[in-house]
Chains A and B, each alone.
Chain A
Amino acid sequence: DTEVTQTPKHLVMGMTNKKSLKCEQHMGHRAMYWYKQKAKKPPELMFVYSYEKLSINESVPSRFSPECPNSSLLNLHLHALQPEDSALYLCASRRGTGDGYTFGSGTRLTVV
């Protein structure tokens, strides 16, 4: 298995909803990432997990809450989002010591 799998592919949520994005990889990668990408813009780093511990939070608002339950799974919990949070949310993983970042196909989030 050489893929990063993200679910759901599309999500529409209201500003008062709570939802979660899921990311899974079975490549034994020990670093996992969340990126946010707006249309016609590059992906922007949000969070980095290294060996299941949060190592970087790029000043992301608290309405985004990451979680890494185990080495294969990464979640992003969403609560009280704003319409401007609508974007493509990408998950990536990387081997602990080597290089090679693998990205998932993303979750297209729309906040209404």
Chain B
Amino acid sequence: GESVGLHLPTLSVQEGDNSIINCAYSNSASDYFIWYKQESGKGPQFIIDIRSNMDKRQGQRVTVLLNKTVKHLSLQIAATQPGDSAVYFCAEKEYGGATNKLIFGTGTLLAVQP
């Protein structure tokens, strides 16, 4: 099930199940979105990205869905494995300008139960 902890929402799934991690982004001017995976003690690792002119993109075992109407992003992981256990962050980049800011969402801890 899904629960909201003091700082980090947690999603607990069984090995082999599909996982869906959600993210609400804040800026309607954002034109590019990335999902990162971060394991303990490591830097964020790129998983998949999507531009604002798309609503779906698929990678290996992962799919990102973008709903600009409600400013919602989701990451679907098929056949979740123990190695998928990590914190997942969505990040958004604002369109245009020289800033190239990449701003991270709160993050979700994915815990895969064997």
Which residues of A are at the interface with B, using a C-beta cutoff of 8 A?
A: 4, 6, 31, 33, 40-45, 48, 50, 55-56, 90, 92, 94, 99-106, 108
Name 4 extra pairs, CB < 8 A, besides A48-B100, A92-B102: A90-B43, A103-B44, A103-B45, A105-B43
Q: Are B99 and A56 in contact (CB under 8 A)?
A: yes
Residues of B within 8 A of A101 (CB): 34, 46, 91, 102
Beta-carbon contacts under 8 Å, B69-114 to A: 89, 91, 93, 98-107
Residues of A within 8 A of B99 (CB): 48, 55-56
Number of B residues near A (Cβ < 8 Å) is 26
Residues of B within 8 A of A31 (CB): 100
B32-48 CB mask vs A (1 if < 8 Å, else 0) is 10101000011111100
When the two chains form the complex, which single residue of A4, A48, A99 contacts B32, counting CB atoms closer than 8 Å?
A: A99
7 nearest A-B pairs in the assembled complex, by CB-CB distance: A42-B104, A103-B43, A40-B7, A105-B43, A103-B44, A40-B8, A106-B43
Residues of A within 8 A of B89 (CB): 42-43
Q: Are A43 and B44 in contact (CB under 8 A)?
A: yes
Q: List 24 A-B contacts (CB under 8 A).
A: A6-B43, A31-B100, A33-B102, A40-B107, A41-B107, A42-B107, A43-B89, A45-B101, A45-B103, A48-B99, A48-B101, A50-B100, A55-B100, A56-B99, A94-B100, A100-B46, A101-B34, A101-B102, A103-B43, A103-B45, A103-B46, A105-B42, A106-B43, A108-B41
Residues of B within 8 A of A104 (CB): 43
Beta-carbon contacts under 8 Å, B3-41 to A: 7-8, 32, 34, 36, 41
Bound Cα distance from A65 to B72, whole angstroms = 36
Residues of B within 8 A of A99 (CB): 32, 49, 51, 93
Q: Are A50 and B98 in contact (CB under 8 A)?
A: yes
Bound Cα distance from A50 to B107, whole angstroms = 27
Residues of A within 8 A of B101 (CB): 45, 48, 56
Residues of A within 8 A of B102 (CB): 33, 45, 92, 94, 101
